[in-house]
Chains A and B, each alone.
Chain A
Amino acid sequence: MRIAVITLPGSNCDQDCHRSVEAAGATAVPVWHREMSLGGADAVIVPGGFAHGDYLRPGAIARFSPIMTPVVEFARSGGLVVGICNGFQILCEAGLLPGALLRNRSLRFQSHDCALRVERSDTPFTSRYREGQVIWMPLAHADGNYYADPGTLEELECEGRVVFRYSDAEGESTEEANPNGSLNGIAGIVNEGGNVLGLMPHPDRAIDLALGWQDGLPLFESLVDSVRQRAPAPVAVAEGRALAGTAR
């Protein structure tokens, strides 16, 4: 299984994502932003950083990088796409996710660990978590203040598309636990089809206890599980052989 990790000029978490994918048991394929193809990858990660210097707005220029054409096509055809931090901002600018990430309410670059409550464990990205589970990982951003117009926000909440919410250690989504002013404490959402995830905190920086946390690893493992489940059934099925339990 091959998972594409996009590198844009200014990406600085592509190596973290690369290691995360490999730690979850898949092959990470680096893809430079000037490429016009994903090379048949099974899933795509748009990593964090400051693509194109964050000039104009974070993600505003990155969304027009050549590689974004096949990424948008892949997402629109149901492919699994994850955007982390700057990757989340880019997916919003590209119109794959609703809303926008505004300057933090504090006007400061926030860089610290945060607790998240897992709101959904039935997405292709969170099956290895429990609903309501509190997980920890670092965040590092200046523009993570999630905003959407009231109608869109209500849609996200009613359709259960908020996947991660900033919380305290007990899983309560309080004002104090909200690091950036995001509406409803939103840290991560999925698109209407449930196949595109964006989140501001860094699961890719939380895959090894040597770095403090490994609560991010299940996200990549969930993604790998989902790609496996989506893979076409082996030819032998057509021959009527029972393949239940066969390892792939």
Chain B
Amino acid sequence: MSRFRVEVLVTPRPGLLDPEGGAIHHALASLGYDEVAEVRVGKAIYLEVAADSAAAAAARVEESCRKLLANPVTEDFAVTVRGEA
């Protein structure tokens, strides 16, 4: 069994009001970054997972996303295995 570094990105669903993203967008615009069209803020969660394979680690983390790490009502998630720890 190996240990895998797994990255989880949790992001607000498209269309969902994201006031934090809006505030950052406003700050960027006031610094002259007019080309920024949209800002959305999510969170990254880094895990180290013992598993037989990268696929097994990813499957296990995806299951935990559905139960705990993301709220299915408001958030999407993406799981990426970044390699062995």
Contact = CB atoms under 8 A, between A and B. Distances in A.
B74 A100 contact: yes
Interface stretch (A68-76, A102-110, A123-131): A102-110
Interface of A: 56-57, 60-61, 64, 92-93, 98-100, 102-107, 145, 147-149, 181
A99 B73 contact: yes
Contacts of A102: 16-17, 74
18 contacts: A56-B69, A60-B71, A93-B71, A98-B73, A99-B73, A100-B74, A102-B16, A102-B17, A103-B19, A103-B20, A104-B19, A105-B17, A107-B19, A107-B23, A145-B17, A147-B73, A147-B74, A149-B73
Given A93-B71, A100-B71, A100-B74, A147 B19 contact: no
Nearest to B12: A102
Contact of A60 (B17, B23, B68): B68
Nearest to A57: B71
Contacts of A64: 68
A95 B71 CA distance: 11
B16, B17, B20, B23: which has the most chain A beta carbons within 10 Å?
Answer: B17
B21 to A, nearest CB: 11
Given A61-B68, A93-B71, 17 more contacts: A60-B71, A64-B68, A92-B73, A98-B73, A100-B71, A100-B73, A100-B74, A103-B19, A103-B20, A104-B19, A105-B17, A107-B20, A147-B16, A147-B74, A148-B73, A181-B17, A181-B19
Interface string B6-25: 00000000001101100100
B73 to A, nearest CB: 4
A84 to B, nearest CB: 20
Contacts of B73: 92, 98-100, 147-149
Nearest to A105: B19
A130 B54 CA distance: 59
Contacts of A147: 16-17, 73-74
What 7 pairs between A and B have smallest CB-CB spacing? A100-B73, A100-B74, A107-B19, A105-B19, A100-B71, A57-B71, A103-B19
A100 B73 CA distance: 7
A166 B62 CA distance: 38
A56 B68 contact: yes
Contacts of A148: 73
Contacts of A92: 73
A57 B73 CA distance: 12
Nearest to A60: B68
A207 B6 CA distance: 49
A189 to B, nearest CB: 14
